[in-house]
Amino acid sequence: MYSLKQINEAIRSDPAAFARECDRLFAKKVENAARKIADHREESHIILLSGPSGSGKTTTALKIEEKLREMGIATHTVSMDDYFKTFDPDTAPRTREGMVDYESPFCLDVDLLSRHFAQLDRGERIYVPKYEFARQMRSDILSRPMRLGADEMVIFEGIHALNDIIVGKNPRAFKLYIAARSDIRDEDGSLVFDKSWIRLCRRMVRDSKFRGSDPAFTLKLWENVRRGERLYISPYKENADLMFDSSLALSASVLKPFVVPLLEGVPQGRYKVVEDILRGLEKIEPLDESYISPKSLSREFIGGSPYFS
């Protein structure tokens, strides 16, 4: 939990120092995760990293990879999205309403993933596939070879990484769950900004800046995203060896200048969460992005990150 009073006072008094302190605390979490993973490497070379949308999984995975390399452990990151099956309308998983369920773990080629995990742990070469989303098909032509040395590890990152259908076949892998897990609350303990709103705002800003998506479109999809989380992600977070809180005390403040104009353009009354977010942001001091370092987690969503250049 973060204190609204402390956030606002820190931004008013010294925003640059506040931003640096948030990054320092996040770096400590990354170092702690890297050390736990390093201690586990005799068990398995595989790290399974999961978390809901907007959690900053990609940046966090890359930061952990950097820290492990500093410790002399060469580390690679693989997106489990590349293990999606080529789309087939006859076999694709569907919701109860008959719609294709793109959130389902059964969109993944679980057998191939498990085979690759075992081969990597044995020091064998695999060929990591590449999924072409525009054509909804997996390409073996674009696959890349990978073989792990004695002191190398690989992070498999994806929303379904901790699902029982994955973990059950790979129990020795190190399992990491990443999510924004801290609310912002007032002095009396009342909720000001919910942790799920942080993730929605992150996704909305990212979708708008980098994918050209209207915020109303992101909001329209959000309930289905949340449904997928409730069904396929949250029930399996207890499988994790480590739960990583990817919220930052500054998250709402730095998102505010981006989010408010986006939400003010959404038709009033269409989504209740819009009113809730705007009401919460009214109480939170904004933080100019100039105070945000290039390698901060926030840059994954507002732009300017060297990880995505």
Q: What is the pLDDT of residue 303?
A: 92
Mean pLDDT value of segment 8-32: 97
CA angle 257, 260, 263 (to 5 degrees): 145
CA angle 243, 249, 253 (to 5 degrees): 135
Q: Residue 212 has which token pair?
A: 């050209």
Q: What is the Cα–Cα distance from 309 to 303, expressed in whole angstroms?
A: 9
Which tens digits make up the pLDDT trace of 140-151?
A: 788 899 999 988
Mean pLDDT value of segment 203-227: 89
Instruction: Give 84's strand partners.
Output: 108
CB 231 within 8 A of CB 102: no
Label the pairing between strands 137-146 and 126-132: antiparallel
Q: Concatenated DSSP letters for 170-225?
A: -TTSEEEEEE----EE-TTS-EEE-HHHHHHHHHHHHHHHHS---HHHHHHHHHHH
- Reference 42, options 177, 151, 196; nearest CA is 151
What is the pLDDT confidence band of residue 20, given thresholds at 50, 70 and 90? very high
Q: What is the pLDDT of residue 227?
A: 85
Q: What is the pLDDT of residue 309?
A: 62
Q: In the predicted model, what is the mean pLDDT of the chain?
A: 91
- Reference 50, options 203, 195, 305, 246; nearest CA is 246
Which tens digits make up the pLDDT trace of 241-294?
A: 999 999 999 999 999 999 999 999 898 888 999 999 999 999 999 999 999 999
**Host H or E run for residue 121:** helix 110-121
Which domains are delineated in the chain?
A: 2-304 (3.40.50.300)
CB 91 within 8 A of CB 170: no
Q: What is the pLDDT of residue 169?
A: 83
pLDDT over 70 percentage in the chain: 100
What is the pLDDT confidence band of residue 134, given thresholds at 50, 70 and 90? confident
pLDDT at residue 15 tops 90: yes
Label the pairing between strands 152-157 and 46-50: parallel
What is the pLDDT confidence band of residue 97, given thresholds at 50, 70 and 90? confident
Q: Residue 226 has which token pair?
A: 């949340």
